[in-house]
Structure 1
Amino acid sequence: MTTVSLVVIIINIHIALILATGMTPILVWWERRVAGFIQDRAGPNRCNIGPIRLGGLIQSIADMLKLVFKEDFMPTHIRYKLFFTLAPVILFFCIFLTFGVIPFADDLVIDGQSHMMQALPMELGIMWFLAFAGLSTYGIILGGYSSGSKYGILSSIRATAQVISYEAAMALSVISMLLTYGSIHLGDIVVAQGELVFGFIPAWGIFLQPLAALIFIVTAFAEANRAPFDLAEGESEIVAGYHTEYSAMRFGLFQVGELAALCAASAIIVTLFFGGYQIPWLDTQALKNNIDYVMIAIIILVPLKIYILTTWMKKNNNWKDSSNVRAKETAILNKIFWALAIGTVALFGWFLATGLTQNGIAITVAVLQVLTFLIKFLLVALVFIWIRWTLLRFRYDQLQMLGWKVLLPLSLLNIVITATYIVVTGS
């Protein structure tokens, strides 16, 4: 393994870590703020470090620190202490490993050598993802079963019922995608989505397989244990279900695991159905051929976006509290954003003036594709949060009816239609 290969793998592992765990405080803050917006209230916005509130983000950091320093208490009625301890670890690591095969950008070619832009350079693709996403459910089942609590046992039963309700439909919807793109390797699937249908429609999964996309997205909500399919947790019915008896960082691991599952579901949905890292109408080669025009667009658009953002911040933060904290924070953030904009413009202006080498072009394109992936990823995560605070929870018999009587027949029908089209057209 060369030094460049090692550096690329380390970078990809860090991206996976950021998406799986580093996003936790941001998603907690985002969820609270979106919930507040939907319910017509402010949400958390008071916790601060000096003049810095970050719109309530400091509250999430404070909550994480609180969990770290809380007493890790284990009730005396726990049946299987080993399973009780391992359950949150199993959930978290299985979810984290699903990020190993997500391609964050097209293969990076440095000095003629190609490097896969994913944490684990393997070609198991969607099979690896489905395997570890399915195994993560054992963390929930073991956590509830080993608690020795009626709420935990009920949660384990619900989790088991939920798994058998959605797994078959999810796997069959993926088969339609594999027939369409002819590969289980997620990198190949995303590359194929860089092409155009009829010369102007991106060959994204959402356009080629809308029914498979609908089935997979619905089952992904159940896979991530998110409302309206958060049956195993069911706070209004079974307190907190499988993590009722957990405290401190064991409880924290379950929470991080749940948010990591949201991130994993968002990442795989973007990869399969929304073109992954592909910029619409600009595949990797087109980006390389038009890199100068892309950098000019960035130089123009970044300051414009920062101007709109800072103007909006001043308009919505123009009132003063007793300590003038909000005005101070707004001023600090405005300076930070403008510093980032000036730095971006200066960097890309220097690139334009001096010209990029072949390696420089490849790295620049990879960075743009990673940023594109992150933007799509955050938008899908926002949909997950939006749905949670919009729809009511299903009963688990309703989920079973949906899975076996609606989604499963539809996914089988979709496979038949896809296979028939491929055989008839020979494509």
Structure 2
Amino acid sequence: MTTVSIIAIIINITISLTLATGMTPVLVWWERRVAGFIQDRAGPNRCNIGPIRLGGLIQSIADMLKLVFKEDFTPSHIKYKFFFSLAPIILFFCVFLTFGVIPFADNLVIDGQSIMMQALPIQLGVMWFLAYAGLSTYGIILGGYSSGSKFGILSSIRATAQVISYEAAMALSVVSMLLTYGSIHLGDIVASQGDTLLGFIPSWGVFMQPLAALIFIVTAFAETNRTPFDIAEGESEIVAGYHTEYSAMKFGLFQVGELAAMCAASAIIVTLFFGGYQIPWLDTQTLKDNIDYVMIAIMIIVPLKIFFLTKWMKKNNNWGDSNNIRSKETAILTKLFWAIAIIIVALFAWFLSTGLSTNGVAITVAVLQVLTFIVKFLLVALVFIWIRWTLLRFRYDQLQMLGWKVLLPLSLLNIVITATYIVVTGS
């Protein structure tokens, strides 16, 4: 293994860690702020470090530190203490491993060597994701069972019934995607989505297989155990279900695992149905051929974005009032954002003046594709948060009816239609 390959693997693992776990404080803050917006209230915005509040993000960091230093208490009635401690670890690691096969960019070619831009350079693709996403449910079941309380047992039963009701529909919806793109490797699927339909519609999965996209997205909500499918928790019915007896970092791992599951679901939805790292109408080769124009566009867009962002911050944070903590924070952040913009513009101007080598073009395109993937990923995560604070929880029987009587027949019908079309057209 060459030095370049090792560096690429380290970078891919770092991206996976960042998206799976490093985003937790940001997503907790984002969830609270979106909830506040939907409920017409401010949300967290007071916790600070000196003048720095970051719109309430510091509150998430404070909560995380509180869980780290809180007493890790295990109730005396717990009989299976080993499994009680193991359950949140299973949930967390199974969810984290699903990120291993997500391609963050097209294969990076350096000095003629092709490097897969994913944490695990394997070809298992969507099969790997479905395997570990399904195994993560065992953490919930084991946590509820080992808790030894009626709420935990009920939660385990609910989680078991839930997983058998949606997993079949989820897997069958993926079968339609595999028939459409002819590969289980997610890199191949995303590469195919770089084409267009009718010359102007991106060949994204959501356009190629709209019914499969709908089924998969609905079952992904159930997979993540989030509203409206959080029947395993059901605060109004079984207190908190499987994590009722947990505290400190064991409880924290369950919460991080839930957010990591949301991140994993967002990543696979983007990969299968929204083009992954593909920029609409700009596939990898087109990006390489027009990299100078792309850099010029970025040099224009970034300063404009910073201008409007800082203008909005000044408008809402009492800019100019030296005694106001928000004004002081705005002054610091304004300087920081403009410094970043200047660095980006100067770097791209230098690239344009000196010219990029073949390796330089490949790396620049890879960076742009990674950023594109992250933007799409965050937008889908926002939808997850939006849905949570909009819809009510399904009843236990309603989820069963939806899974067995609606989603499963629809997914089977979609497979039949897709296979018939492929056989008739020969495509």
Q: TM-score category by the smaller chain?
A: over 0.9
Paired position in structure 2 for 1:23 = 23
Describe the superposition over 1:184-242 as per-residue Cα deviations: whole angstroms up to 9, x where unpaired: 00000000000111111110000000000000000000000010001111111111110
Q: Distance in 1 between matches of 2:256 and 2:133?
A: 15
- Counterpart of 2:193, as a letter, is Q
Contact 2:71 2:248 in 1 (8 A): yes
Q: Distance in 1 between matches of 2:214 and 2:316?
A: 37
SS across alignment from 1:5: helix
Paired position in structure 2 for 1:392 = 392
SS across alignment from 2:228: coil
Aligned-pair distance for 1:319? 7.0
Contact 2:202 2:281 in 1 (8 A): yes
Report % sequence identity: 86
State the Cα RMSD in Å. Answer: 1.0
Contact 1:205 1:273 in 2 (8 A): yes
Paired position in structure 2 for 1:312 = 312
Paired position in structure 2 for 1:373 = 373
Return closer, same or farther for 1:282/1:396 CA change in 2, 3 Å cut-off. Answer: same
Aligned-pair distance for 1:324? 1.1
Paired position in structure 1 for 2:260 = 260
Q: Any gaps of 5 or more consecutive residues in structure 2?
A: none
- Counterpart of 1:220, as a letter, is A
Which moved further from structure 2: 310-319 or 243-252? 310-319
SS across alignment from 2:127: helix
Return closer, same or farther for 1:303/1:321 CA change in 2, 3 Å cut-off. Answer: closer
Aligned pairs for 1:320-399 within 5 A: 323-399=323-399
- Counterpart of 1:190, as a letter, is V
Give aligned pairs, total: 427
Return closer, same or farther for 1:346/1:177 CA change in 2, 3 Å cut-off. Answer: same
Describe the superposition over 1:242-301 as per-residue Cα deviations: whole angstroms up to 9, x where unpaired: 001000000000000000000000000000000000000000000000000000000011
Aligned-pair distance for 1:396? 1.6
Residue 250, structure 1, aligned to residue 258, structure 2: no
Paired position in structure 2 for 1:232 = 232
Q: Distance in 1 between matches of 2:232 and 2:331?
A: 44
Q: Distance in 1 between matches of 2:399 and 2:325?
A: 48
Contact 1:320 1:326 in 2 (8 A): no
Q: Distance in 2 between matches of 1:349 and 1:319?
A: 32
Paired position in structure 2 for 1:180 = 180
Contact 1:172 1:415 in 2 (8 A): yes
Residue 9, structure 1, aligned to residue 9, structure 2: yes
Aligned pairs for 1:11-160 within 5 A: 11-160=11-160
Describe the superposition over 1:289-347 as per-residue Cα deviations: whole angstroms up to 9, x where unpaired: 00000000000110011111111111121279995111101111111111110010000
Q: Distance in 1 between matches of 2:329 and 2:92?
A: 35
- Counterpart of 1:228, as a letter, is P
SS across alignment from 1:142: helix
Return closer, same or farther for 1:348/1:28 CA change in 2, 3 Å cut-off. Answer: same
Contact 2:319 2:330 in 1 (8 A): no
Q: Distance in 2 between matches of 1:34 and 1:300?
A: 30
Residue 296, structure 1, aligned to residue 301, structure 2: no
Q: Distance in 2 between matches of 1:226 and 1:286?
A: 39
- Counterpart of 1:232, as a letter, is A
Q: Distance in 1 between matches of 2:359 and 2:62?
A: 42
Contact 2:318 2:324 in 1 (8 A): no
Return closer, same or farther for 1:319/1:111 CA change in 2, 3 Å cut-off. Answer: closer
Contact 2:322 2:328 in 1 (8 A): no
- Counterpart of 2:283, as a letter, is D
Describe the superposition over 1:87-128 as per-residue Cα deviations: whole angstroms up to 9, x where unpaired: 000000000000000000000000000000000000000000
Runs of 4+ off more than 4 Å = 319-323
Describe the superposition over 1:165-193 as per-residue Cα deviations: whole angstroms up to 9, x where unpaired: 10000000000000000000000000000
Q: Distance in 1 between matches of 2:81 and 2:158?
A: 22
Contact 1:317 1:327 in 2 (8 A): yes
Q: Distance in 1 between matches of 2:38 and 2:387?
A: 11
Residue 401, structure 1, aligned to residue 384, structure 2: no
Q: Distance in 1 between matches of 2:275 and 2:51?
A: 40
Contact 1:161 1:396 in 2 (8 A): no
Contact 1:102 1:119 in 2 (8 A): yes
Which moved further from structure 2: 312-321 or 332-341? 312-321
Paired position in structure 2 for 1:417 = 417
SS across alignment from 1:109: strand
SS across alignment from 2:184: coil
Contact 1:227 1:387 in 2 (8 A): yes
Aligned pairs for 1:272-287 within 5 A: 272-287=272-287
- Counterpart of 1:3, as a letter, is T
Contact 1:108 1:116 in 2 (8 A): yes
TM-score by length of 1: 0.99
Q: Distance in 1 between matches of 2:232 and 2:312?
A: 41
Aligned-pair distance for 1:48? 0.3
SS across alignment from 2:143: helix
